[in-house]
Structure 1
Amino acid sequence: MLPPFHLNDIKDKLSYHFRPWERSFQFWVRAIDIYTGYKVFQVRVNFEKDVQKRETMWERQHELTADKIFAMCSDLGGFFLKIAQIIGKPDLAPAAWVRRLVTLCDRAPPTPFHVMKLVLENELGQGIDDVFERFDVEPLGSASIAQVHRARLKGDKDDVVVKVQHPGVQDLMMTDIHNLQAFALYMQKTDIKFDLYSVTKEMEKQIGYEFDFMREANAMERIRKFLYVNNKKAPVLVPRVIRDMVTRRVLVMEYIDGIPIMNLGDEIAKRGINPRGKVAAAAKTKILQSLTLVYGQMILKSGFFHADPHPGNILICKGSQVALLDYGQVKDLPEQLRLGYANLVVAIANNDPLRAAESYRELGIETSSKCENELQELFKLAATMFDTKLPPGVTMLQPFAEESSIKKVGVQAFPEELFSVLRTVHLLRGLSVGLGINYSCAEQWKPIAEEALSKAGRLNR
């Protein structure tokens, strides 16, 4: 006997199979529109000789493009929310883009509770009521890969956070990344003298890891232990994993009470503290120092680090204590890259262009410079990419501007594994801009970098 014929089932299956094609079409239509808009504008703006009028024209074009990028990231969601996090920063993008994209971070629509309940019960092999005394239906937050709920385990007095993966999101994310890789290849051959393809390959690898919560739990425990061993008091809080409640798609961990760092200004004002006064400045400095110390230790001492310090992953707890969440993106740097980066940190801190050039070669960063003052431009690019304090006169990377270091130097090869360090430094820079503190992470990290080089017997090289 033939199974019953259901038209809706066939429609659902066809829709599921065609989703990647539809998504690719949406991306390319919008990406081509944004790109050609800028290329046509570049021709048009060259006819305007008045500098002030040209700047006004550029600002209008950036605002128009910002609306288009916002619409693309908002409509497609998923991976494009991560793209909004990366490019929506003052040093990477025009101000109009930043104003528009900063509101998009971690705004993924939540998956309905009945769907997440099925995922959770299938993964744990038990009903929610059998495991939890209380489970909040409304999520604490929803991101591109998963959403988190507050709950309490049976027989326990403390709350936990339950991280549950959105079903079906992995295939769509990989489609997005492959489209972006093709676009990156085209851009680096035509407009931007930087090895963008290697950057997107590293993104593909890192995001692939994010779908394995067992890997994330191991990373969280490893970093937690490292920070407690290397400090009298850990500079940041790392959630404790509930070990028997971890699967590939579900992760249960300790609940840490705090406010998102993005809400710090509102919280300071709510408590009647002058946001520009000494008390607020001291709290912000302490927060930034804690984060900088932790990242210096992780990157330069062990090479194994949390590689996603965007504002949504940082909580501020009582007494300006910082909590670092979400260990889906971690990086384990090979020894050569760890020590090469330590050498570059010392070069930037000491304002030593020759040593920076040596570090570039050691790191495998290949440049194609034919400009005057090559060494100085290369050093300027090193500081722009790998320090939180921008060089004098530089406000952002400006990859399209003729006077930018990227245009003058040109980066032909950039090691994929170094992208996580680059991204981490830029996220720390974004936080420092948001907190209103201008500082150099290279100067802060210099003693840690020198200790790493000394242990390897190469401090005086």
Structure 2
Amino acid sequence: MPLTYIEISQFVFELPISDTVFQVRVNFERDVQKREALWERQHELAADKVYAMCADLGGFFLKIAQILGKPDLAPAAWVRRLVTLCDQAPATPFQTVKLILENELGQGIDDVFDRFDMEPLGSASIAQVHKARLRGDKSDVVVKVQHPGVQDLMMTDLRNLQAFALYMQKTDIKFDLYSVTKEMEKQIGYEFDFKREAAAMECIRKFLYQNNRRAPVLVPRVIRDMVTRRVLVMEFIDGIPIMNLGDEIAKRGINPRGRAAAAAKQKILQSLTLAYGQMILKSGFFHADPHPGNILICKGSEVGLLDYGQVKDLPEPLRLGYANLVLAIADGDQLRAAKSYRELGIETISNCENEQQELFRLATTMFDTKLPPGVTMLQPFSEESSIKKIGVQSFPEELFSVLRTVHLLRGLSVGLGINYSCAEQWRPIAEEALFQAGRLQGKDVKPRPKQRRSWRRLFSRG
């Protein structure tokens, strides 16, 4: 059943209230270790509650779990619990999967596949994937099958969330949440068309392979004539989910704080950052869902990027406007950041002192991965947050996918223990994009250190 507006309201307000009551109680405990243990237990209880709700309701609320379960936004107990919903959501029974496959492909499953694993490799909010082998072939493939009935459920949930967003943005959260939910509705609606996803996958694969001597990430190859709106067959990429990287390092007897582990993590994040910088700033057409369930770590620390259901094609003015904002953030240029806001169509209102400084802080919070010194978790709605000081009256729907992508990259970087600025790493790509558009002269391009040395320096800072 879809969640109602009232149930959403109860859920959003219940957790903060229970935390406030608990905080009063825990303050009476003087022993620091006992107090921390009490908080950890409270976080575990809250995480179980969120997990149970998201798992029971399914659909869109599995995506909510992906958003909440990020190490830069949530306590460790939440991340440990919610990250499992990225690819371990309730699965559709095999007999139903078999019927869908045979209806969509127009053939019996045994006529198409030499082998088909009944147990899925993983199950997410919209579909699940099975490992198989086509008849007469020697290579394994992945078969993605859409859950039946999930589209109506998810879109109803989104419409209820939009009503709630309209209410929330009238409170002290002065942010255009409704535009964000409208873009979510559009993007998630696209995910139900696997033909569109296959075309996007082929487009991004071609772009990355043509623009690099070696593609920074592996993109699965689509199996021709094996795609319908509800079924997608693609190349199998062998690897482990990035969320299991720590366990894999321990299993191999590698020191998780040693040089080998550090180099592997650095290479993983560098590959993802380069791929996304090129996609967003150079092409404008990008994979917009880099949550942990969509990232595989392959042999030699290569990165496989999966699931192209959510992609975004940025209009040219927004692509170049964002390139301007990247340069402003990388250079610490507050005036240029303010101008970039206007160019992007982000309308703000503020009565606070140092408005330009707060605007820049808001820009880095929204569009960069770097956390301030000593900060491991963002508190976006605290009284000191720029979101509370700067009202965002209008936020272009198309930019939400960029915002979400940057935040997912930040969550990955925190999880890997690397605090870095994607804006600094993307500066040369942003300069190239603006130069090619005739908006930047050669004399304005700033000299920069070699990328490898730059990454080593950033990584050593932690």
Q: Distance in 2 between matches of 1:78 and 1:87?
A: 15
Deviation of 1:416 (Å): 0.8
Q: Does 1:297 align with 2:284?
A: no
5 Å-filtered alignment, 1:333-352, equals 333-352=314-333
The 10-residue stretch of structure 1 (95-104 or 320-329) with the greater mean CA deviation from structure 2? 95-104
Please point out which of 260, 280, 291 is paired with 1:310.
291
Which residue identity lines up with residue 384 of structure 2 in the other structure? E
Q: Judge conservation of contact 2:216–2:272 (CA < 8 Å) in 1.
A: yes
Please point out which of 252, 276, 289 is paired with 2:233.
252
Q: Which segments of 5 or more consecutive residues in structure 2 lack a partner in the other structure? A: 445-462
Please point out which of 276, 279, 289 is paired with 2:257.
276
Residue 159 of structure 1 corresponds to 140
Q: Distance in 2 between matches of 1:382 and 1:286?
A: 27
Please point out which of 168, 188, 204 is paired with 1:207.
188
Q: CA, structure 1 residues 60+262, in 2 after alignment: closer, same or farther (shift >3 Å)? A: closer
Residue 91 of structure 1 corresponds to 72
Residue 388 of structure 1 corresponds to 369
Residue 147 of structure 1 corresponds to 128
Residue 72 of structure 1 corresponds to 53
The CA deviation string for residues 387-446 of structure 1, in whole angstroms up to 9 with x for no partner, is: 110234654442331111100112111111111111111111111111111111101000
The CA deviation string for residues 113-151 of structure 1, in whole angstroms up to 9 with x for no partner, is: 111111100110110111111111111111111111111
Q: CA, structure 1 residues 430+443, in 2 after alignment: closer, same or farther (shift >3 Å)? A: same
Residue 7 of structure 2 corresponds to 29
Q: Distance in 1 between matches of 2:119 and 2:310?
A: 25
Q: CA, structure 1 residues 37+302, in 2 after alignment: closer, same or farther (shift >3 Å)? A: closer
Q: CA, structure 1 residues 132+31, in 2 after alignment: closer, same or farther (shift >3 Å)? A: same
Q: Does 1:219 align with 2:200?
A: yes
Residue 15 of structure 1 corresponds to none
RMSD (Å) for aligned C-alpha atoms = 2.6
5 Å-filtered alignment, 1:184-203, equals 184-203=165-184
Please point out which of 216, 219, 224 is paired with 1:243.
224
Q: Does 1:38 align with 2:16?
A: yes
Q: Distance in 2 between matches of 1:338 and 1:434?
A: 28
Q: Judge conservation of contact 2:162–2:178 (CA < 8 Å) in 1.
A: yes
Residue 455 of structure 1 corresponds to 436
5 Å-filtered alignment, 1:400-439, equals 400-439=381-420
The 10-residue stretch of structure 1 (153-162 or 184-193) with the greater mean CA deviation from structure 2? 184-193
The list of structure 1 runs, each at least 4 consecutive aligned residues, that deviate by more than 2 angstroms after superposition, is 27-31, 36-50, 55-71, 90-107, 391-400
Which residue identity lines up with residue 16 of structure 2 in the other structure? Y
Deviation of 1:72 (Å): 1.7
The CA deviation string for residues 128-185 of structure 1, in whole angstroms up to 9 with x for no partner, is: 1111111111111111111111111111111111111111110000011111111111
SS of structure 2 residue aligned to 1:194: coil
Deviation of 1:112 (Å): 0.6
Q: Does 1:106 align with 2:90?
A: no
Deviation of 1:97 (Å): 4.2
Identity of aligned residues (%): 81
Q: Judge conservation of contact 2:240–2:296 (CA < 8 Å) in 1.
A: yes
Residue 323 of structure 1 corresponds to 304
Which residue identity lines up with residue 189 of structure 2 in the other structure? G
Q: Distance in 2 between matches of 1:278 and 1:37?
A: 40
SS of structure 2 residue aligned to 1:248: coil
Q: Judge conservation of contact 1:192–1:399 (CA < 8 Å) in 2.
A: no
Q: Distance in 1 between matches of 2:352 and 2:303?
A: 44
The CA deviation string for residues 277-336 of structure 1, in whole angstroms up to 9 with x for no partner, is: 111111111111111000000000000000011111111111111111110000000001
Q: Which segments of 5 or more consecutive residues in structure 1 lack a partner in the other structure? A: 1-18
Residue 377 of structure 1 corresponds to 358
Q: Does 1:116 align with 2:94?
A: no
Q: Judge conservation of contact 1:369–1:410 (CA < 8 Å) in 2.
A: yes
Which residue identity lines up with residue 235 of structure 1 in the other structure? P
Which residue identity lines up with residue 24 of structure 1 in the other structure? L
SS of structure 1 residue aligned to 2:411: helix
Q: Judge conservation of contact 1:191–1:400 (CA < 8 Å) in 2.
A: no
Q: Distance in 1 between matches of 2:316 and 2:224?
A: 30
Which residue identity lines up with residue 10 of structure 2 in the other structure? I
Q: CA, structure 1 residues 111+273, in 2 after alignment: closer, same or farther (shift >3 Å)? A: same
Deviation of 1:99 (Å): 4.8
Q: Distance in 2 between matches of 1:199 and 1:279?
A: 40
The 10-residue stretch of structure 1 (266-275 or 415-424) with the greater mean CA deviation from structure 2? 266-275
Q: Distance in 2 between matches of 1:376 and 1:180?
A: 32
* TM-score normalised according to structure 2 size: 0.88
Q: Judge conservation of contact 2:55–2:90 (CA < 8 Å) in 1.
A: no
Q: CA, structure 1 residues 42+320, in 2 after alignment: closer, same or farther (shift >3 Å)? A: closer
Number of residue pairs aligned between Structure 1 and Structure 2: 438
Q: CA, structure 1 residues 124+289, in 2 after alignment: closer, same or farther (shift >3 Å)? A: same
